[in-house]
């Protein structure tokens, strides 16, 4: 089954939104993951929210290339986060026809984290957005089981868990752990490239699940974003073709 593949903004993090779309088109990606919220206050992003000229240009470039937006990123929930402050991001995501908004939990108080995530989902729901909780080993919501507790307890119909293969491995998880999750939560996943031992292959995600690709490459950092997108797309196709050839016959 063919996977829809998305070029995550992190792969070409210095790209403007328009350059990101062009890079995705050059690499034959179906979608992009567009960063419109800075994960950290010091992180630089090209302002999109409230910029009518930029929004119109993004809409035109998406229409011209046929690329769409898989997810908007990246909201980090901290102890002092005011979830209502993200309403403008929700409205922007809806306008750009995004399907998901990526959330990271970095609050040491899990009860407060659950409350804020539940409220976040409630506010995002009228905009047609699924809030995807990504667990990261260096954050407080660090494992797949942490994410399972948050999403289960928050009990929101538009919540999901985002599996990043690198974070699953580095948090001590295993693909079999994914079988504890409701398949309805696994709306897309992320793959990456890293210098590490590759875990044994285990099919644990729903067939055909969309794939976001986070694979910045230092060796290609000086190349234009479009060329990096083309190279990444070619590598992803080789990887998926190899994976398909190794899959057992029905």
Distances (CA, A) of 119 to 58, 88, 146, 194, 205: 29, 15, 18, 35, 27
- Tokens 């809030």 belong to 131
Q: What is the pLDDT of residues 97-134, one digit of tens each?
A: 999 999 999 999 999 999 999 999 999 999 999 999 99
Give Cβ neighbours of residue 240 (< 8 Å, ≥ 6 apart): 3, 5
β-partners of residue 105 are 77
**3 or 10: which leads in pLDDT:** 10
Cβ neighbours, 10 Å, residue 213: 24
Give phi and psi for 31, each to the nearest 5: -145, 175
SS3 content of the chain, % helix, strand, coil (to 5): 45, 20, 40
User: pTM here?
Assistant: 0.92
What does the block give as tokens for 220? 């290609």
Task: Give yes or no for a contact between 118 and 82, defined as CB atoms under 8 angstroms apart.
Answer: no
Distance between CA 23 and CA 34 in Å, rounded?
Answer: 12
Q: What is the pLDDT of residues 12-58, one digit of tens each?
A: 999 999 999 999 999 999 999 999 999 988 899 999 999 999 999 99
Average pLDDT, the chain: 92
Q: Which of 74, 58, 71, 75 is nearest to 32 (CA)?
A: 71
What does the block give as tokens for 16? 């403007």
Distance between CA 30 and CA 21 in Å, rounded?
Answer: 10
β-partners of residue 211 are 5, 189
């Amino acid at each position: 089954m063919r996977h829809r593949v998305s070029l995550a903004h992190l792969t070409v993090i210095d790209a403007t939104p328009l350059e990101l779309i062009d890079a995705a088109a050059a690499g034959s990606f179906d979608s992009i993951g567009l960063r419109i919220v800075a994960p950290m206050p010091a992180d630089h992003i090209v302002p999109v929210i409230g910029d009518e000229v930029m929004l119109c240009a993004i809409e035109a470039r998406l229409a011209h290339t046929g690329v769409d937006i898989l997810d908007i990123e990246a909201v980090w929930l901290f102890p002092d986060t005011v979830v209502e402050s993200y309403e403008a991001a929700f409205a922007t995501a809806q306008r750009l026809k995004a399907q998901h908004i990526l959330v990271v939990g970095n609050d040491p108080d899990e009860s407060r984290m659950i409350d804020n995530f539940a409220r976040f989902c409630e506010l995002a729901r009228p905009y047609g957005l699924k809030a995807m909780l990504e667990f990261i080993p260096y954050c407080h919501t660090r494992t797949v089981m942490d994410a399972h507790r948050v999403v289960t307890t928050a009990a929101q119909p538009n919540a999901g868990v985002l599996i990043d293969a690198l974070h699953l491995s580095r948090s001590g998880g295993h693909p079999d752990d994914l079988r504890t999750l409701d398949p309805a939560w696994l709306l897309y996943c992320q793959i990456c490239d890293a210098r590490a031992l590759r875990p044994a292959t285990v099919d644990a995600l729903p067939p055909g699940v969309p794939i976001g690709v986070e694979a910045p490459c230092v060796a290609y950092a000086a190349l234009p974003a479009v060329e990096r997108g083309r190279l990444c797309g070619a590598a992803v196709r080789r990887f998926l073709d190899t994976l398909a050839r190794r899959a057992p016959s029905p």
